[in-house]
Amino acid sequence: MLQRKPGSKRFPMRLNIKKGRVDMTHGSGGRAMAQLIEELFASHLDNELLAQGNDQAAFSVPAGRMVMSTDGHVVSPLFFPGGDIGSLSVHGTVNDVVMSGAKPLYLSASFILEEGFPLADLDKIVASMAKAAEETGTPIVTGDTKVVEKGKGDGVFISTTGIGIVPDGLILSGDQVQPGDKILVSGYIGDHGVAIMSSRENLEFETSIASDSQPLHDLVADMVREVPEIRCMRDPTRGGVASTLNELAQQSSTGMRLQEEAIPVRPEVHAACELLGLDPLYVANEGKLIAICPADQAEKLLNVMRAHPKGQDAAIIGEVVEDEHSFVTMETVFGGQRIVDWLAGEQLPRIC
């Protein structure tokens, strides 16, 4: 339950958001939980649907093709340059929904809180979610809070689920990709992963890189309106661009050939990756997308993307080729060629 439950006017004193902490009673289903919902969650997230006060939100939908996507968020630290777990949990799910070309409609949120977590931090996180939800036009209409004992969780985990409606006639899917298609990326890659690393205690280094965490609903709306021939889109989060392209190559039984020099990587991100022994192609992004489209639409799509602030650094980074092994390969800046394999081990835990 996250709905503003009735009975809330009867709390003897207000929740101490400044100095209070989550305790086990906040997950009990009783008065303390009702107060947490009323004075913290609902005060930020309030909307007509959440206010219905039932254990489910009800709304009208048009007939059509709906998409549903869910993502758990366990990012550590909870606050990082360019965002926090609250905004990330909205952006991540909104982006998964809109990669289908859908207009996002509504979100749900499930919170798993650790006993002892400062209410002030929770308040910041929920405020950040509310802002992100507002910006994307996708209200959080229903939710749930659970509390686990200290040492059985890690501050807060948030699972968000989103639904959206796909415009009539539009079908974007990885299996539509064909040899000859062009591969585009919407901007600089690796920013999110490097921002998280830089904010972790043991990996501190000088960098001004902020996470690229942002919602892509508006960029996507422009893209599918102007170039409905797009085969598919995907946001290269965990595992980065390399993993996303390997997935798409397998799904479509094609190969991918990238041009290293065409892939936008900030010099600072490049330098940080060298220091850490990482490859930017495997580093997570939270506000970028990969789009694949027919070759004759690629320039048009690129222009549409570049005309939008969230796609101003977009680039065509390679093409789809015939390959029975579904390899992703890259022509390096030195003129060589290498295989861009699946991520084998652990690049960076708890990146999102």
Residues numbered 198 to 217 that lie near a copy of itself (CB under 8 A) are none
What is the spatial distance between Cα 243 and Cα 260, in angstroms, rounded to a whole number?
Answer: 16
In the complex, what is the shortest distance from the CB of residue 100 to a copy of itself, in angstroms, rounded to a whole number?
A: 5
Give alpha helix (H) positions in 240-349: 240-252, 267-276, 298-306
Tokens of 330: 């890259």
Residue 302 or 352: the one with the smaller Cβ distance to a copy of itself is 352
In the block, residue with structure tokens 């690049």: 347
What is the spatial distance between Cα 71 and Cα 26, in angstroms, rounded to a whole number?
Answer: 24
Region from 5-13, 212-220, 269-277, 299-307 binding a copy of itself, contact rule CB under 8 A:
5-13
Q: Scanning residues 275 to 314, which ones bind a copy of itself (CB under 8 A)?
A: 282, 284
Tokens of 60: 């009208």
Tokens of 311: 């796609």
**# binding residues, a copy of itself (CB under 8 A):** 97
Q: Scanning residues 241 to 270, which ones bind a copy of itself (CB under 8 A)?
A: 243, 246-251
Pick from 17, 43, 46, 52 the residue near a copy of itself by CB under 8 A.
Answer: 52
Instruction: Check residue 346 for interaction with a copy of itself (CB under 8 A).
Output: yes
What are the b/e assignments for 1-37, b being 16+ CB within 10 Å?
A: bbbbbeeeeeeeeebebeebbbbeebbeeeebbbbbb
Instruction: Check residue 219 for interaction with a copy of itself (CB under 8 A).
Output: no
Pick from 136, 142, 213, 297 the residue near a copy of itself by CB under 8 A.
Answer: 142
Q: Scanning residues 144 to 173, which ones bind a copy of itself (CB under 8 A)?
A: 144-149, 151-154, 157, 159, 161, 163, 166, 171, 173
Instruction: Check residue 61 for interaction with a copy of itself (CB under 8 A).
Output: yes
Q: Scanning residues 17 to 36, which ones bind a copy of itself (CB under 8 A)?
A: 24-25, 27-34
In the complex, what is the shortest distance from the CB of residue 63 to a copy of itself, in angstroms, rounded to a whole number?
A: 4
What is the spatial distance between Cα 96 and Cα 82, in angstroms, rounded to a whole number?
Answer: 20
Nearest by Cα to 297 from 168, 188, 180: 180
In the complex, what is the shortest distance from the CB of residue 334 to a copy of itself, in angstroms, rounded to a whole number?
A: 26
In the complex, what is the shortest distance from the CB of residue 8 to a copy of itself, in angstroms, rounded to a whole number?
A: 8
What is the spatial distance between Cα 270 and Cα 347, in angstroms, rounded to a whole number?
Answer: 15
Q: Scanning residues 87 to 106, which ones bind a copy of itself (CB under 8 A)?
A: 96-97, 99-100, 102, 106
CB 188 within 8 A of CB 270: no
Q: Scanning residues 174 to 203, which ones bind a copy of itself (CB under 8 A)?
A: 174-175
